[in-house]
Amino acid sequence: MALDSYVSLGRSGLKVSPFCLGAMNFGEDGGFGCGVEESEKILQGYLDRGGNFVDTANFYTNGHSEAILGDFLAARPGLRDRLVLATKFFGNLHLGDPNGGGAGRKAIIGQLEDSLRRLRTDHVDLYWLHNHDWSTPVEETLRTLDDLVTAGKIRYVGFSDTPAWFTAKAHTTALLRGWTPVIALQMEYSLLERTIEGELIPLAEDAGMGVLPWSPLKSGFLSGKYTRDRRTPADTRRSAVLGGPTDDQFEVIDALAAVAEEIGATSAAVALAWVRARPGVSSTLIGPRTLDHLEANLAGLDLRLTPEQTAVLDEVSAPALNFPYALNHQVGAMLKYAGATVDGRTSQVYPPLLADAARY
């Protein structure tokens, strides 16, 4: 697969590259990331490979990320309209201003206008709610976003890092009111973070939302640079702040390294290939900090894991999911089908049914 083998983002009409270029590291504000020159090299490298999906947020590097993207696109007339440009709202850049962030009408409009100014464009293709706003009525948020779609300032709406119950409520409300629905979810997902499989991925699949995983390498833990004898690499300040993997995480890292060695690939490429092939995933977010990182990540497009290799990684990384996931999967088919074979799968029989033929 290549970056120009485009995929539909969920059940929408939007077509995007299988890897989305995340611009969180564009700009050195905050003490990590990359400068303007390296950011532009990464952008150009991604575009040269056929990529068309770029994602940022209003508060990444204090707005510098958006500004770098805006300057790059402004210097290349015609390029902007060929890209799917996404950014997010929620983060407050104005100290002490209670209306500077969040998902209220005033906040959304103010944040979008600032983002459009920095991005040097008149619209955003995909606008993400970046967090759950517990104090704003969801109807206010959705109506504002729908108004912005009508005004032509945004094209599509996505949610990032929101609870499943809230996301389902918002999407259903939008459909019932005839407002713009949620077309995609951006959530953390990797071999070391699979808990969205409990409710968020089933919600996305049922509602036709595309899933865009972020941190598919778990902040570098799955990149191959961590080993048991070197738990905290010194090459980035961010890694030092996060600390190294736990013993349980190293079980997954070791299994990943073994699969990578078996097929002659890097751990990073295998981890990305695993995420990309997961049910519900439309495109996967990569956040390179150097051009070399970009090239290493793109190697994940060329890999196809065998069922056996996938099973090894699935088993070692299996998550403990919230109630009632385990209960439903343990007894659901048994209670529903009573031993019948359905869709090629056999079911067990509830023991009391076998113990006594009497029915009342």
Residue-wise pLDDT tens digits, 106-158: 999 999 999 999 999 999 999 999 999 999 999 999 999 999 999 999 999 99
Q: Do 61 and 26 form a contact (C-beta atoms < 8 A)?
A: yes
As a whole number, mean pLDDT of residues 271-284 equals 97
> pLDDT band at residue 1, thresholds of 50, 70 and 90?
confident
Q: Provide the token pair at 97.
A: 């201003």
238: pLDDT strictly greater than 50: no
As a whole number, mean pLDDT of residues 237-250 equals 72
| 60 noted as active-site residue | yes
Percent of the chain with pLDDT over 90: 92
Q: Report pLDDT for 221.
A: 95
Which pTM does this prediction carry? Answer: 0.92
**Whole-angstrom distance, CA of residue 352 vs CA of residue 344:** 25
As a whole number, mean pLDDT of residues 185-194 equals 98
- pLDDT higher at 62 or 238: 62
Q: Report pLDDT for 242.
A: 57
Q: Do 182 and 158 form a contact (C-beta atoms < 8 A)?
A: yes
Shortest CA distance to 287 belongs to which of 34, 64, 30? 34
Lowest pLDDT segment from 74-78, 177-181, 241-245, 298-302: 241-245
Q: Report pLDDT for 231.
A: 54
Q: Report pLDDT for 234.
A: 45
Order of strands, sheet of 124-129, starting from the edge strand that comes earlier in the sequence: 210-214, 182-188, 154-160, 124-129, 84-89, 53-55, 19-22, 284-286
Q: Report pLDDT for 239.
A: 43
237: pLDDT strictly greater than 50: no
Percent of the chain with pLDDT over 70: 96
**Whole-angstrom distance, CA of residue 175 vs CA of residue 182:** 9
What confidence tens digit (pLDDT) does each residue in 29-68 have? 887 899 999 999 999 999 999 999 999 999 999 999 999 9
Taking all residues of the chain, what is their mean pLDDT, rounded to a whole number?
A: 94
Q: Report pLDDT for 243.
A: 75
Q: For strand 284-286 and strand 182-188, is the pairing parallel, antiparallel, or unpaired?
A: unpaired
> Which among 60, 127, 189, 226 is annotated as catalytic?
60
